[in-house]
Amino acid sequence: MYQALERGLAVAKPFGDSCAYDFIVDPAPGRRSRLLRVQVRSVGYRTAWGLYAVPVWRGRKKRRITPAEIDLVAVWVRPEDAWYIVPVRVLRPHHWLWFAPHIKNSHARFEEWRERWELLSRPDL
């Protein structure tokens, strides 16, 4: 949330825990625009394969996150202080997101979404 506020975006947090998203971002404060629903995830350790892994399901039944519920997933890889802003439309058919910010010139599947803060300013997602 702080990262979005630093970039001049308006951010709101829904009351309670009943929503699939954690924050709402207004990509064009003061103008009429579509609000973006953002779920925030974080990871603090590497798997045995040396990559950071984040699940992209929710609930005990491991229901897959869909574009009907949220627009973006913001993932913070804490040990590397790296952020990934991933559109939900690119998640299918994956159950996990894999990141390798610690590997220089990594070609990990979701590496292209690293530090893509400009996506929070795009109501056309």
Nearest C-alpha neighbor of 37 from the set 53, 55, 51, 19: 19
SS3 88: helix
Domains of the chain: 2-121 (3.40.1350.10)
Average pLDDT over residues 73-94: 90
Span 25-73, pLDDT tens digits: 987 767 777 889 999 999 999 888 888 999 888 777 777 888 899 999 9
Is pTM, for the whole model, over 0.85?
yes
b/e per residue 50-85 (b: at least 16 CB within 10 A): ebbebebeeeeeeeebeeeebbbbbbbbeebebbbb
d(CA 31, CA 18) in angstroms, rounded, equals: 28
